[in-house]
């Protein structure tokens, strides 16, 4: 059962990578954060601090932040 779950999660990550790449292409967005997301979701590494905003338990949500510094 665990092997099947791991395989399905790997497939889901591969799907997420394809979706992100497609959305980036459709939006003609070629920023550093887009490539950072593709690289991250294309690898097996896990980074607890991958998200560029504080975690909800820290009291702020992404929509509360100023995105003016995005590439």
> For residue 8, what pLDDT is reported?
92
Taken as a whole, the chain contains a residue count of 71
> For residue 44, what pLDDT is reported?
84
- Residue 14: is its pLDDT beyond 50? yes
| Tens of pLDDT, residues 17-59 | 888 888 888 887 777 888 888 888 888 888 888 877 666 665 5
- CA–chain centroid gap for 56, Å, is 16
3-state SS assignment for residue 71: coil
Instruction: Note the pTM of the prediction, 2 decimals.
Output: 0.54
What DSSP state is assigned to residue 65?
Answer: S
Number of H helices, E strands in the chain: 2, 0
In angstroms, what CA-CA distances link 37 with 3, 15, 34, 58? 26, 13, 5, 22
> For residue 16, what pLDDT is reported?
87
């Amino acid at each position: 059962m665990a092997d099947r779950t791991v395989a399905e999660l790997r497939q889901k990550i591969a799907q997420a990578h394809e979706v992100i790449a497609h959305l980036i292409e459709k939006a003609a967005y070629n920023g550093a954060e887009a490539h950072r997301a593709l690289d991250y979701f294309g690898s097996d590494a896990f980074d607890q601090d991958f998200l560029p905003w504080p975690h909800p338990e820290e009291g702020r949500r992404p929509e509360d932040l100023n995105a003016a510094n995005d590439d």
